Copies of this chain bind each other. A is one copy, B any other.
């Protein structure tokens, strides 16, 4: 018999249907068997009365282990005292399509590391399923917005011939008789697309970072959302694109999943007001210093504590979850960020913080070949491996700027989770390449 989804059962009261799913729990009483079957749309109670002699259904339910894949056929009965949707299924046939081994290697008390070892079992939990449904909505809404702005979907190569760009550590690949490197961002390639006359570039794809970071916000492989916009008047155009995109995304998520996110994850999805507050780095540092903040490491930048504090301050003063920190000093930004006119110590760049966590870096890029080369030299870059990049600025590259954002971070902050390990399907870190 063809499948009926659990969420549709209440429309089939009195009918005989088949549900496909997993045994979520089974409560075997003396006179009754209560089996909860779960599919990707919900859970239903299967209520089976024991008989003398025992029916085939009863015998199957008696021994079927939790998390086995089953098909249960029966009649949908309205029962207001049943919590799961007010209906139950009275079975007349059950097929164990694929039995699970018992006991299961993880349960509700298992820690994150062992959960990741058994990630396919872990994500069967409805709260985890929800994360990837939200991810789907997030990406769909981003694309809807980007397409509406005239963006072109692009796929830049992950193999690079040279280990270039920002000096971030890159992974080396044996590539026939030479080496290749894995792209730590599509930065150079999306700029080439701008030089190629593509007006607005949009890409969602993996990037690779070889830093041995073990924080809750870092991975060796993650999904980057990349945007690059041609013919901008300034970095403000890039920030405007991003804040409008995120407001669009959050409105879509709130509408489609808001209630379920509240219920299963205890998080509130707030659709932000536009524009987001903007605070120049200089002012941010002054504000924080007044509060007694002392940066841990780099002068002119915010450390994670600084990011949390400035977000808290913005939340308090403006009631806003987001803040653009702008005008980063040139010393902490890559050579290709454009400098402010008349103030070469400051870049036309920004980070976007959301509830204290950096989710985006963006900037207007330097599109003038001579200035770009000068800035690279000042940073002590080796120009030779950069030549195929710098050469692309010699043939009429328009002014442009863009941003890169981490998908798993956005989901982590949105859903109030404490690590990107939770929002990545199969996490990859220095110590984790499995499953």
Residues of A whose CB lies within 8 Å of any CB of B are: 3, 20, 22-23, 38-40, 67-69, 97-101, 104, 119-124, 129, 132-133, 135-136, 139-140, 143, 147, 150-161, 171-176, 178, 180, 182, 189, 192-193, 195-199, 205-206, 208, 212, 220-221, 223, 231, 367-368, 388-389, 392-399, 407, 424-426, 428, 430, 433-435
A97 touches B399 (CB 8 A): yes
Can you identify 14 A-B contacts, CB atoms within 8 angstroms? A3-B231, A20-B398, A39-B197, A97-B396, A100-B394, A119-B192, A132-B152, A132-B198, A139-B153, A158-B208, A159-B220, A171-B173, A175-B220, A205-B205
Residues of B contacting A389 in the complex (Cβ-Cβ under 8 angstroms): 435
Selected contact of A22 from candidates B38, B182, B197, B205, CB within 8 Å:
B197
Question: How near does chain B come to A430, taking the closest CB pair, in angstroms?
Answer: 5
Closest 4 CB pairs of A and B: A161-B433, A69-B396, A388-B435, A120-B196
B67 touches A396 (CB 8 A): yes
Residues of B contacting A196 in the complex (Cβ-Cβ under 8 angstroms): 119-124
Give the dominant DSSP class at A's interface. mixed
- Expressed in whole angstroms, the Cα–Cα distance for A394 and B147 within the complex equals 43
Question: How near does chain B come to A433, taking the closest CB pair, in angstroms?
Answer: 3
B20 touches A231 (CB 8 A): yes
- Expressed in whole angstroms, the Cα–Cα distance for A330 and B129 within the complex equals 35
Residues of B contacting A398 in the complex (Cβ-Cβ under 8 angstroms): 20, 69, 97-98
Residues of B contacting A223 in the complex (Cβ-Cβ under 8 angstroms): 155
Residues of B contacting A206 in the complex (Cβ-Cβ under 8 angstroms): 155, 157-158, 205-206
Selected contact of A136 from candidates B147, B161, B430, CB within 8 Å:
B147
A221 touches B157 (CB 8 A): yes
